[in-house]
Every structure is written in C-alpha cells, then in structure tokens.
Chains A and B, each alone.
Chain A
Amino acid sequence: MVGYLVFLTISTALFALFALGLNLQWGFTGLINFGHVAFMTVGAYTTVLLSSQGVPLVIAVIIGAAIASLLGLAIGMSTLRLREDYLAIITIGVSELLRLIALNEEWLTKGAFGVQRYPLPLAGFEPNLIGKIIMIGLLTFIAIFTVWQLWRGMRNRWREGKSIKGKSIQPRKRIGLIIWSVIALALILTVYVNGVIAISNYYNYKVGLMLIVLLVLTAIYWGLELLVHSPWGRVLKSIREDEEIPRALGKNVFWYKLQALMLGGAIAGIAGAFYAWQLTSVYPANFEPLVTFNAWTIVVLGGAGNNAGTLLGAVIFWAYDVLTREYLPYLGILNPTQLGPLRIMVIGLILMLLMVWRPQGILGKKEELTLGR
C-alpha cells in the first residue's frame, strides 16, 4: 500500500509538472499545442542517452530541457506568426515524427527494444538516520508550503465571495469552499504521512524519486506563480484574450508567444526525465499522442490559466485512472481488451463536455476567459 501510494504520488506529480508546461502555453497564452508529448520525448531520451554516456544526471536533465525548448523555438518560428490552428497541426505532426524517429533510428534509441539500465537519481543511495531526517525535513517543508498555498487560495476566494455579493457574478458557496479545503487538506496529509512512513521504514529508489519530483514540482510551481503574476504573465493573458490589444500597446506578441512555448517545452522536458526515471526503461510506445491529450484533460478539467487547478486536475485524473483500472473489471460487462478503449473514450467525452458546458474547468475564472466572441 505504501509503495503503491508512492508510485501514485510520483505519477501525479510528474503529470502535474508536464501539464503545468501545457497550462503556460494553452491556459495562459492560448497556444494550441497538440504535440506536448514531443517535448517530453526529447527530454526523456536526451536525459537517458546522455546520462548513459556518463554525463552527470543534473546536467543531462538541463541539456534535455534546453533541447526541448529549442524544439519549441523551431516550431514557434514557423507557425506562431500565422493562424492559431497551424500550430495545432504542426505540433501533432512533430510529436508523431519524433516518435517515429525514436522507433526507427535504432543506432540512437534502440528502437522498439527500448533503452534500459540507464543511471537513475539516488540509485545506490542508502540514507542513514541523519539522511532520513533531512529527507523528512524536506518533505515537511513541501507539505507546509502546500498548505500555505492552499490557505492563500481559499482566503482569496472567501474574500472574493464577500466583495462580489449582490452582483451578477455569483460567489462560490461558503460551504463548498470549506468542504473543498478539508478534502485538499486530507489529501496533503495522506501524501505526507505516507511519505514519512516510506522514508523511515521502506526506503527504496522510488521513495527518493518521489521526494525529488515533489521538490522540483514545488519549485517550478512557485516559479510559475511568480511569473504569471508578474507583468510578463499579464501580457501572456492579454495575448490569450485578444492579441491585438497588447500589440497596440507596443508588445512584441510573437516574442512573448515564443517564450511561453519554449518555457512550457522546457518544463515538459524536465517532466520527461522524471517519466523515464519512473518507468526505468523507455520505449517509443510510451510517447503516444494520448499522453498529450491526458495533459489536455488535466489542464481543461482543472481550469485553464490556473496553476493550482492544474495540480487539482492531475490528482483527479490519476484518481480516475486508478479507480477505473481497479474497479471496472469487476463490473464484468466488458472483456479486458475493451477496458482501455472505454477509458480513452470517456476522456474524449470529458474533453468535449467540459468545452461545451464548463470551459473554465473547476478552478478557472469564467469572467476572465473570453470563450466566445
């Protein structure tokens, strides 16, 4: 059970990281990136192949993220000046092409046989008592930070509810806010307690990976929060709403879009490194287009243009994934080979229903998003 929760924590955190990159591109800047998995492929393969050649892991990850953002530069240079749907088409094409390259260029990627036995972070590390205490300390720090963020977000919504009373926009229900806070707190507590138990009693490679991915996620989340609340982030949002206005104010819209695409790509590249470390062997089949659309579901569900929403979306997505994987077979209506397609069908349906009925997702602000013209 502890090990399974550790696995789930890593999966959720790395998909949250991956989707945060997409949220910067689509949620904040309005770029339709349907090939987000391309950045992940580049990040994963670069990290794995370089570190197998003896390059230190941290440097390999940084190079992977840099190459992923260069990919964003190449895609952006050819499409970002044009209509928004061209980006969607080109990114789908690039992500499929990269997967085909990974499948066919066996001298580089070993093709369908996949890459195995590459260096993993903290692989041979056996923490002593002091090491364990430091690790628990770091985990505690992350937990406190998360609770603080949660408290801040909830307080803002509470105030918002007070200030807009009597206007046409309805505030969130107070009771709902409290229930959500309690659920979120329970979730944080579960992950924290499980992490502490795992570190102190059942330490293995995955536990170390969990701590690293949570640290990186916290750092990137915090960095993104600072960025999107800065003037730079406000320009991105204005591009999403109507790019003529920032252009009229003298902003170089193309350059801002390019920055968002590259930065989002670099984040996805880092997520790719963690993906590879969690899988411990990478195959081209791990980078199907479906991975991109899982991230889309996460972002749209949580609320476009809201980083906390993306985290929430990742949690809900993995809960859905685990529950349907575990309990659907017991219903006995479908045979095992039909379960996979059914789960993807539901994802497609969720994506459609959300865009039709609740395009702002769970936490997005409807007032802020121009969803129709």
Chain B
Amino acid sequence: MDPQLLFNGIAVGSVLALAAIGLTLTYGILRLSNFAHGDFMTLGAYLTWLFNTGISIRMGYRVIDIDGVNIWLAMFLGAGGTVIAMLIAEFLLWKPMRDRRATSTTLIIISIGLALFIRSGILLIWGGSNQSYDLPLVQALDIGGVRIAYYRLIVIGLAILAMIALHFLLQKSKIGKAMRAVADNIDLARISGINVERVVIWTWIITGILTAVAGGMYGLITTVRPNMGWFLILPLFASVILGGIGNPYGAIAGALIIGVAQESSVQFLNSEYKLGVALLIMAIVLFVRPQGLFKGTA
C-alpha cells in the first residue's frame, strides 16, 4: 500500500475516531442515534475558527474588535461552546423525550430536525464560503518520500492523546465505570445506586469535547465549511457499527479502518466516491456481521 495514502488515511481516521467515540457513547448510553452529531462537529470547528480569528462586534458607531487567540486555546474554547450547545439540546429535547419514553424512531427524526437547524443556522450566521484558521505556515516534513504534513501529524498525536485520556477515564475513574455500567444495563445501574442523570450529563460533556476537537482538527487538515460534518455522518455511523455500537475501542478501530480504506481508494476510484467506500463497508458489515467486529452494548 502506498505509505502516503496510509498516512493520510490514519490522519482522517484519527479525526473520525474522536467523533465516532462520542457518537458511540451517546448511542450506547442514551440509546440515541444522533444524526446531528456531524453538525455538532461543524459547530465545534466554527467556534474554534471564531475564537482563533477573532470577532468584531458592531455596536452602534463603535466597533469592538476582539483579537483571536492561539489555535489550541481556541479549540479548547470551541469545545466548551459545543458542550454548552449539546447540554441545551439535552435539556430541551432529549431529556423530556426520554422521560416520555419516546421510541428510538421519534428520537431519530428529532435529531435530523436538529441537524438541519444547526447546519442552516451556521449558514445563516457565517455564510457558505470556506473559512480557514489563522495559522503559521509550517514546511511539510519529508521522510522516505512520504510528505508528512505538520498539522496531520499533530492531528494524529492529539487523537492518540485524547484516546489515552478517555481510556483512563473509562477504566479508572468513578464516572467512567458508572458510564460503562449504564451502557451495559441501565436498570441494573440505577438500582445499584448510580445517578443516571449525572452519568448522562458527563456523557454529553465528554462527547462534546471529543466532537468539537474532532471538528476543529478536521478544519486543520481541510477547510472549515458549513456541511463538513454532515458529509462525515455516514463514515461515522459506519465506524460505530463496524466497531459494535456502544464500544468506544471498537469505534476507534472502525474509524481507522474506514479512514484508511477511504483514502487508499483514491488509487482506483474517483476521489468523489470516498463516501461510497464507507457505504460499501457498512453494507458488507450489515450482511456479514451486523453486530460489529467487537462486542457492543446496544
């Protein structure tokens, strides 16, 4: 396999992995297949871009310019904003509907409405043109003929860091254990004294951070545009299903497989059809092993 394509695939796969972890957590713990997940990614990227490039607010005659901050701080602030947006959705939509014991189909339709709302809201506020971060230019490295773009390398490193942190959170911390318990069996978790509502809030916080960082990083290796996340919804669901719904480690493996497969497909396929690769993998998984490669919870 062409090492260049492999490298690109791992970079894209890392972005997908971070977002897919969030999707699989909400899928497994809240029983919610969130079709707005990709658009939350877009929101994270736009907030990062906003904090990075600065804002100028017009108040009457006066124009207040707020300077942008460095990209890493911007990504951090963007993650905070995305978490707030996800918690608003939780309290206005998901919690009331869960309390009413709405069916999963009802939730799916609400999530697609939310996806339309967020995406066109972004279009309304920031317009449809491509945006890019305010970044210093860095020369790409060249290792044995493979062009290693600096930011792609950063993306991979950051994703590994986030995954290790998540691993320790899920395995060692109290809240992580509670999350796994709720995903496994919500009623059993509740009667063992786990505060399910608190677990739900923490799930959204973790999901929001990972999703926003994934969006911000996707903006680093491509451009920031209103439908960047929407076009990732299929690869994301494919990764989640490939890795077994509710299994974060499975989602990481699935995302890397999908990312590498998509990027290496450009050797023999029009690059416009990357989406078709994810669709094909998903169709094969559904035929051969619908429960996914690893053990899921839902």
Residues of A within 8 A of B (CB): 30, 32, 34, 78-79, 82, 84-86, 88-90, 92-94, 96-97, 100, 103-104, 290, 293, 296, 300, 334, 337-338, 340-342, 344-345, 347-352, 355-356, 359, 370-373
Distance, CA A86 to CA B105, complexed state (A): 11
* B273–A352 touching, CB < 8 Å: no
Q: Are A92 and B97 in contact (CB under 8 A)?
A: no
B106 within 8 A of A: yes
A interface footprint on B79-107 (CB within 8 Å = 1, 0 otherwise) = 00000000000000100110011111110
Q: Which of B117, B231, B273 contacts A104 (CB 8 A)?
A: B273
Given A93-B279, A94-B279, A341-B121, CB of A88 within 8 Å of CB of B103: no
Report whether A90 and B109 are in contact in the complex, using a CB–CB cutoff of 8 Å.
no
Report the nearest A residue to B124, measured CB to CB.
A341
**In whole Å, how far is A183's beta carbon from the nearest beta carbon of chain B?**
27
The answer to whether B283 touches A351, judged by C-beta atoms less than 8 angstroms apart, is no
Verify if B290 is at the interface (C-beta below 8 Å from A): yes
Q: Is B43's beta carbon under 8 Å from chain A? A: no
Interface size class of B (residues with CB under 8 A): 35 or more
SS class, residues of chain A in contact with chain B: helix
Q: Known contacts A96-B275, A104-B273; is A370 also within 8 Å of B103 by CB?
A: yes
> Do A345 and B103 touch (CB < 8 A)?
no
Pick the interface stretch among B5-13, B57-65, B233-241.
Answer: B233-241
Further 8 A-B residue pairs, CB within 8 A, beyond A97-B273, A337-B128 = A82-B286, A92-B35, A100-B273, A290-B116, A293-B116, A352-B113, A352-B117, A373-B103
Chain B, residues 121-136, CB within 8 Å of chain A (1/0): the string is 1011001100000000
Of the candidates B93, B272, B286, the one whose C-beta lies within 8 Å of that of A79 is B286
- Docked CA distance A68–B121 (Å): 33
A360 to B46, CA, bound (A): 36
Q: List 9 A-B contacts (CB under 8 A).
A: A34-B35, A90-B286, A293-B116, A334-B124, A345-B124, A347-B116, A352-B93, A355-B113, A371-B103
Within the complex, which residue of B114, B279, B286 is in contact with A352, where a contact is CB–CB below 8 Å? B114
Q: Pick from A337, A338, A348, A373: contact of B101, CB below 8 A.
A: A373
Smallest CB separation, B27 vs chain A (Å): 9
CA distance A197 to B116 in the complex (A): 40
- With a cutoff of 8 Å between Cβ atoms, the chain A residues found around residue B273 in the complex are 97, 100, 104
Q: In angstroms, how far is the closest chain A Cβ from the Cβ of B252?
A: 19
Q: Judge whether B110 and A355 touch: CB under 8 Å.
A: yes
Residues in A with CB closer than 8 Å to B96 are 356
In B252-279, the 8 Å CB interface with A consists of 270, 272-273, 275-276, 278-279
The yes or no answer to B33 lying at the interface (CB within 8 A) is yes
Interchain CB contact under 8 A, B93 and A97:
no
Are A93 and B100 in contact, with the CB atoms below 8 A?
no
In the complex, are the beta carbons of A86 and B241 less than 8 A apart? yes
By the criterion CB–CB under 8 Å, are A372 and B101 in contact? yes
Of B117, B118, B234, the contact of A92 (CB 8 Å cutoff): B234
CB distance from B225 to the nearest CB of A (A): 14
**Beta-carbon contact of B103 and A93 below 8 Å:** no
**Chain A residues, Cβ within 8 Å of B241:** 86, 89
CB distance from A86 to the nearest CB of B (A): 6
A313 to B102, CA, bound (A): 23
- In the complex the two chains form, what is the Cα distance from A90 to B110 in whole Å? 18
Q: Report the bound CA distance from A367 to B275 in whole Å.
A: 41
- Chain B min CB distance to A292 (Å): 9
Q: How far is the CA of A373 from the CA of B115 in the complex (A)?
A: 25
Q: Would you call B108 and A93 a contact (CB within 8 A)? A: no
Contacting residues, chain B, for A100 (C-beta < 8 A): 272-273, 275-276
The smallest C-beta distance from A333 to any residue of chain B, in angstroms, reads 11
B155 CB, min distance to chain A CBs, angstroms: 25
B120 CB-CB contact with A under 8 Å: yes
Contacts of A78 in B (CB 8 A): 283, 286-287
Q: A85-B108, A359-B106 are in contact. Are A90 and B113 (CB under 8 A)?
A: no
| Chain B residue contacts of A30, Cβ below 8 A | 105
Q: Say how far A33's CB is from chain B's closest CB, in angstroms.
A: 11
B127 A348 Cβ-Cβ under 8 A: no
Shortest CB-to-CB span from B26 to chain A, Å, is 13
Q: Which residue of A lies closest to B102 (CB)?
A: A372
- Complex formed: what's the CA distance from A106 to B11 in Å? 31
- Contact indicator A88/B35 (Cβ below 8 Å): yes
A79, B279: Cα distance in complex, Å: 12
**Residue in chain B with minimal CB distance to A88:** B108
User: What are the residues of chain B within 8 A of A349 when measuring CB–CB?
Assistant: 113, 117
Contact assessment for B33 and A88 in the assembled complex, using a CB-CB cutoff below 8 Å: yes
A355 engages B116 (CB within 8 Å): no
Contacts of B169 in A (CB 8 A): none
Among A337, A347, A351, contact of B110 (Cβ-Cβ < 8 Å): A351
* Nearest 6 CB-CB pairings of A with B: A348-B116, A351-B113, A348-B117, A341-B123, A352-B113, A344-B120
A84–B282 CB distance below 8 A: no
Looking at the assembled complex, report how far the CB atom of B236 sits from the nearest CB atom of chain A, in whole angstroms.
Answer: 9
Residue pair A32, B105 in contact (C-beta under 8 Å): yes
| Chain A nearest Cβ from B246, distance in angstroms | 13
Interface positions, chain B 21-56, Cβ under 8 Å from A, are: 33, 35
Residues from chain A with Cβ under 8 Å of B170 in the complex = none
CB distance from A260 to the nearest CB of B (A): 15
Contact of A85 among B104, B120, B272 (CB under 8 A): B104
Q: Which residue of chain A has its CB nearest to the CB of B121?
A: A345
How far does the Cβ of A371 sit from chain B's closest Cβ, in whole Å? 6
Docked complex Cα distance between A85 and B33 (Å):
7
Closest to A300 in B: B109
CA distance A347 to B113 in the complex (A): 8
B282 near A93: Cβ-Cβ < 8 Å = yes
Taking CB atoms, residues of chain B closer than 8 Å to A342 are 120, 124
